[in-house]
Amino acid sequence: MIVDVVMHPSEIALLKGRRLTGVLCVVFDVLRATSSILTGLAHGVAEVVPVETIEEARAAAAARAGAILGGERNGNRIEGFDLGNSPSEYCQSAGAVVVTTTTNGTVALRACSGADAVWVGAVLNLGALAREIRRAAPKTLMLVCAGTFETMALEDVWAAGALLEAFEDAQWTDSARCAAAVARQWPEPAQALRLSRNGRALLDAGRGEDIEWCASLNRFDVVGEMLDGVIRARRSA
């Protein structure tokens, strides 16, 4: 298995034009989109529909009876939306369909649509990811770091690098080796998350509890899988 890491948002923009046959993509937006999606799934959210724009989100929610809207711009809940982008907001919506749009995370998820499989990753489910990737045995594993606006995000690269430790027998690209080095630099996820640009912004905004939640290693035994643009909890074969 070849393991690659997409570390920068500028690379994500190119994924739509790439041939992704035989590729399993795992998307990380640790602070906070993918952590919130996984928290919702672990608490019984039925489906999450990631879209790129606010307009798409409103249209997609209108087309699904009973759907609720979630997401953020500049870290804050979008006006008129039911949920923002804090994981704690996704614990009380069991059975719901959530249509979500975020600055980077949902864009990265949609960019991977051409892959054989698209999964949702975070610090919260690294162990479950490693187990399910072993079972799936893809030709290529691509770990996609959503980033922050137009820049790389330390917390996403940390999570990708930490997952790589489970696949030391694979063929790593140079970017994969860089991600693994980042994870080794900070053995505890909370260290990296607090130091990151997003982490510091959340601390400044009084949202430190979100950092602690998103840094909870293996909190959930769930993997989100995106099929036909809809994310559901993956059922093991």
pLDDT digits (tens, 9 = 90+) for 131-188: 999 999 999 999 999 999 999 999 999 999 999 999 999 999 999 999 999 999 999 9
At 214, give phi and psi (nearest 5°): -70, -20
In a domain? residue 236: no
pLDDT the model gives residue 17 = 80
Beta-strand relationship, 23-28 and 117-121: parallel
User: pLDDT under 50 in the chain at which residues?
Assistant: 237
In a domain? residue 200: yes
In a domain? residue 235: no
H or E segment at 24?
A: strand 23-28
pLDDT the model gives residue 19 = 86
Q: Is the peptide bond before 18 cis (omega within 30 degrees of 0)?
A: no
Task: State both tokens at 145.
Answer: 């770091």
In a domain? residue 97: yes
Q: Domain count of the chain?
A: 1
- Burial state string for 131-161 with b = 16 or more CB within 10 A and e = fewer than 16: ebbeebebebbbbbbbbbeeebbbbbbbbbb
Of 20, 17, 37, which is closest to residue 28 (Cα–Cα)?
A: 37
In a domain? residue 21: yes
In a domain? residue 228: no
Question: Which CATH number goes with the domain that contains 37?
Answer: 3.90.1560.10
Which residue range(s) make up the domain with 87?
A: 2-222
In a domain? residue 184: yes
Residue 198 makes CB contacts below 8 A (sequence gap 6+) with 31, 32, 148, 153, 155
In a domain? residue 234: no
pLDDT the model gives residue 147 = 98
